[in-house]
Amino acid sequence: MKSVLVFAALLGVALAGVFQIELTKIQSKRMRMIADGTWPAYLKYKEFLRSSGKAVVSQPANDYDDLEYIGNGTLGTPQQPFLIILDTGSSNLWVPDSTCAACSRKHRYDRTKSSTFVDNGQKWNIGYGDGSNAGGVLAQDTYCFGSTGTTQLCIPNTVFGRATHLSGFNNDATDGILGLAFQTIAVDHVVPPLINAISQKLLDAPIFTVWLTEVGPVNGKRGGVFTYGGLDTTNCGPIIAYQPLSAATYWQFKIAGIGAGSYSSNTGADVISDTGTSFIGGPTGIVKEIATAVGAHYNAANQIYTIGCKATPPDVVITIGTNKYNIKAKNYIVDGGNGQCYFGFFPFDSTGFGLSWILGDPFIRSYCNTYDIGQQRIGFALANH
């Protein structure tokens, strides 16, 4: 019976080439902890993790405390479900393993219950820029984007990490991470799942498109759509322009400038489009100037800018190529609940890996991002809301 089910699943994959997988909106860890007053203590804990961790980290830009959008995925036959961070800022897939003692609150992968499990045995470890860490043993199985009972993109022979230990992720709402960047930055040079899908000719085109909703501080609501293998013509307008990547590592490209109101910085910079970051990160001095231009005020205890929920500040404008992309206040004012709102930018000073800005969800909510793996470029289309 299992072999019949596997064949049926593979046949379903072969009959379609564009897959739309919905996201769920959650309240970020930062917003939740600011609301209950535990965020300043947690910041000190993160600083301790950074200072006591290894000097070299493999994912220096990653910090998921602001994460607001998560996806569903499954591993194995029959399918085992997981809540997954779909992250264009990394390239590895890992989930908690059944042997992980610290992962009892999460969905855990049980290799003994999957008929398609293949052992690998190679050990892996990923350190993140916020001091968190995950590690364990590599394995191979069928990974499916989406949850059971929906249309899924299923990818046989996907190499992933069985996380036997976690540090810093234990109390998160998600189970694991799926990287959507290039193989060049994958730890142990593992083939990312989507690159594997393209190699197996499971998609109509080697692209995916991201559209995010504007739904405020709610949990469990529809958060957006990832479209694999094509454009999203329902939720997104026509592509305004494509920008070539400056490096096929992260989804990295150049901007010509950024500003708001009377302030502008025309210094070109390398940026990444990052679905795993719900704020926009940039150089401290420039972020401070933009915050002043929109009327935001820095809260040192929580290391975040506050802004009035009913404020009517000017757009933040990013110049990419010859086009200007306006981020309206509704997309950069983050509602933390209880009448408190925050400016969706944070200070981020690069530490030697070539990036000046991280363009997270406020930008992606404004403009659908189309990630063209085949031509190593990224396109922008006005998001329909």
Q: Which residues are catalytic?
A: 87, 274
CB-count exposure of residue 49 (10 Å: 0-12, 13-18, 19+)? middle
Q: Which amino acid is at 220?
A: G
Inter-CA distances, 236 with 44, 62, 315, 379, Å: 41, 27, 20, 11
Quick one: DSSP state of residue 97?
Answer: B
**Six-digit token pair at 335?**
């509602």
Report which of 271, 243, 241 is spatially closest to residue 376, judged by C-alpha positions.
243
Residue holding tokens 């489009």? 273
**Six-digit token pair at 250?**
């992260």
Cα-only R_g, the chain: 20
Cα 153-155-156 angle, rounded to 5 deg:
145
